[in-house]
Structure 1
Amino acid sequence: MGDYKGSCFCGAVEFTVSGEPAAMGYCHCESCRHWSAGPVNAFTLWQPEAVKVTKGADNIGTYNKTPTSFRKWCKTCGGHLFNDHPPFKLTDVFAAMIPGLKFQPALHVNYQETVMRVKDGLPKMKDFPAEMGGSGVTLPE
């Protein structure tokens, strides 16, 4: 178990995450790709109480396109911080935001939407695992 520190791009917002993530992996959905401005998004999922803003809480902006994701960013630099996922009772802290955490991805989700094929031997879920309300279907690499 550990305590890890993270911050936005400019440092106006700082936060810690405590313990270990519930899951780590990659998301290929259009929303994550569009929001992260990349072909794939590396995620770490935490219990919401494990994520604590330690500086700049009043400087955090929120946008929710859907009730599934409340995306958070720094109002000063625009740097992304994390997403609250109320239906899953989890908070996604972008892996890149926690430099001290050893990122150990276990799977790819929403692979049916991928724009970048990845051959890493990890399971490629069509959408989400069944325990998260998905189909549980795995696609070939």
Structure 2
Amino acid sequence: MNDERSYKGSCFCGAVEFTVSGEPAAMGYCHCESCRHWSAGPVNAFTLWKPEAVHVTRGADNIGTYNKTAQSYRKWCKTCGGHLFTDHPGMGLIDVYAALIPELAYSPGVHVHYQETVLRIKDGLPKLKDVPKELGGSGISLDE
């Protein structure tokens, strides 16, 4: 019997639906200019999943893709424009925006690209200059 937890999510209009299964590899906040610009907000709340944990269950043909850089392939619904995921091929992970998985108990563990922040957040979580070493970054910590 598989006791792995599964969570449902969708785009803004519901034309694209998906599930994520198991536990995310990481959860946190990204402060990079690219994520801020894409999300139209001062910070992006992310959940990172292994690709095999993410399954589009409806509307796969309605997903658009744009990549400004080879590190991030951003996905959205072609009907409503609602953001869905960001594939990070170099990391082997997919960012599913935390707000799209309402039943997941979001528990951030880190702030990444904090040197680019426009919104200082004093929450006691580690603040990294870029990303952890194991994901190709420097792993350098910054002050809150």
Relative to the length of structure 2, the TM-score reads 0.97
Tell me the residue number matched to 1:78: 81
Q: Tell me, in whole angstroms, the C-alpha distance in 1 between the residues paired with 2:92 and 2:129.
A: 21
How many pairs are equivalent?
Answer: 141
Tell me the residue number matched to 2:8: 5
Tell me the alpha carbon deviations over residues 69-89 of structure 1, each in whole angstroms, 9 at most, x when there is no partner: 000000000000001110000
Q: Tell me, in whole angstroms, the C-alpha distance in 2 between the residues paired with 1:87 and 1:137.
A: 19
Tell me the residue number matched to 1:91: 94
Tell me the residue number matched to 1:116: 119
CA shift, 1:132, in A, is 1.1
Amino acid at match of 1:135: S
Q: Tell me, in whole angstroms, the C-alpha distance in 2 between the residues paired with 1:128 and 1:96.
A: 21
Tell me the alpha carbon deviations over residues 55-112 of structure 1, each in whole angstroms, 9 at most, x when there is no partner: 0000000000001000000000000000111000000000001001000000000000
Alignment of 1:2-81 (within 5 A): 2-81=5-84
Relative to the length of structure 1, the TM-score reads 0.99
Tell me the alpha carbon deviations over residues 102-126 of structure 1, each in whole angstroms, 9 at most, x when there is no partner: 0000000000000000000000001
CA shift, 1:133, in A, is 1.2
Tell me the residue number matched to 1:106: 109
SS at match of 1:62: strand
Amino acid at match of 1:139: L
Q: Which runs of 5+ in 1 are unaligned?
A: none
Q: Which runs of 5+ in 2 are unaligned?
A: none
SS at match of 1:76: coil
Q: Give every structure 1 segment of 4 or more consecutive aligned residues whose post-TM-superposition deviation is greater than 2 Å.
A: none
Q: Tell me, in whole angstroms, the C-alpha distance in 1 between the residues paired with 2:65 and 2:58.
A: 16
